[in-house]
């Protein structure tokens, strides 16, 4: 692997495991086995590294979501499959939650560079549900339910509220 890819691979692991603030550039450099000059050749700052990490995470996450929901036969099934995707990701990533929300909680409110990437990711998720449901009010409701499931499942290390949300969707929203 090239230095840039090693840096990003190690960043993915460390940001996921330790968080943004607890992960230092020197640790990333050491664990990815690159020279400091090589790191700065690819990334001007930790902030730039974080932006690249989030952009890659966005691509990975959405590709997985789209694959996971691609076999759904109708809009209702696709929405329910997206909640099944949360269960799948929780099991795969040990209830680590949303990388975007985790980093959001660690950055100052004036960090527009990172914040804009996070907002773009969440905006794309809202669009994902709007494209499926063709109803802005219902799709925003589903989006908010989806987001709260991410947070609650991380907090309680449980998929119980995701399962409850699927029942809510089936009985109240998608009749």
Matching residue, tokens 């009985």: 171
Does the pLDDT of residue 1 top 90, yes or no? no
Q: Span 42-52, mean pLDDT?
A: 97
Does the pLDDT of residue 5 top 70, yes or no? yes
Residues near 105 by Cβ (< 8 Å), separated by ≥ 6? Answer: none
- Following DSSP, what letter does each residue of 26-83 receive, concatenated? HHHHHHHT--HHHHHHH-SSHHHHHHHHHHHHHHHHHHHHHHHHTT-SSHHHHHHHHH
Q: Span 42-50, mean pLDDT?
A: 97
What is the rounded distance in angstroms from the CA atom of residue 59 to the CA atom of residue 54?
9
CATH architecture type of domain 45-173: Orthogonal Bundle (1.10)
What CATH superfamily classification does 1-43 receive?
Homeodomain-like (1.10.10.60)
Q: How confident is the model at residue 23, as a pLDDT? A: 97
Local confidence band at 174 (pLDDT 50, 70, 90 cut-offs)? low
Host H or E run for residue 24: none
Q: What are phi and psi of 72, to 5 degrees?
A: -65, 140
**Chain center to CA of 24:** 21
pLDDT in tens, 68-97: 999 999 999 999 999 999 999 999 999 999
pLDDT in tens, 117-170: 999 999 999 999 999 999 999 999 999 999 999 999 999 999 999 999 999 998
What is the rounded distance in angstroms from the CA atom of residue 49 to the CA atom of residue 59?
16
Domain parsing of the chain, residue ranges: 1-43, 45-173
pLDDT in tens, 16-35: 889 999 999 999 999 999 99
């Amino acid at each position: 692997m090239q230095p840039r890819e090693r840096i990003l691979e190690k960043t993915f692991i460390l940001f996921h495991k330790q968080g943004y603030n607890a992960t230092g550039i020197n640790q990333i450099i050491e664990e990815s086995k690159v020279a400091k000059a090589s790191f700065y050749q690819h990334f001007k700052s930790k902030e730039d590294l974080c932006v690249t990490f989030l952009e890659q995470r966005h691509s990975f996450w959405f590709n997985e979501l789209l694959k996971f929901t691609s076999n759904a036969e109708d809009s209702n099934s696709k929405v329910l499959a997206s909640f099944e995707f949360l269960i799948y990701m929780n099991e795969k990533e040990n209830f680590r939650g949303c990388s975007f929300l985790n980093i959001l909680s660690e950055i100052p409110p004036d960090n527009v560079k990172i914040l804009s990437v996070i907002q773009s990711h969440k905006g794309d998720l809202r669009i994902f549900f709007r494209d499926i449901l063709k109803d802005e009010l219902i799709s925003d409701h589903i989006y908010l339910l989806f987001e709260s499931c991410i947070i609650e499942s991380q907090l309680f290390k449980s998929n119980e509220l995701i399962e409850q949300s699927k029942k809510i969707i089936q009985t109240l929203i998608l009749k």
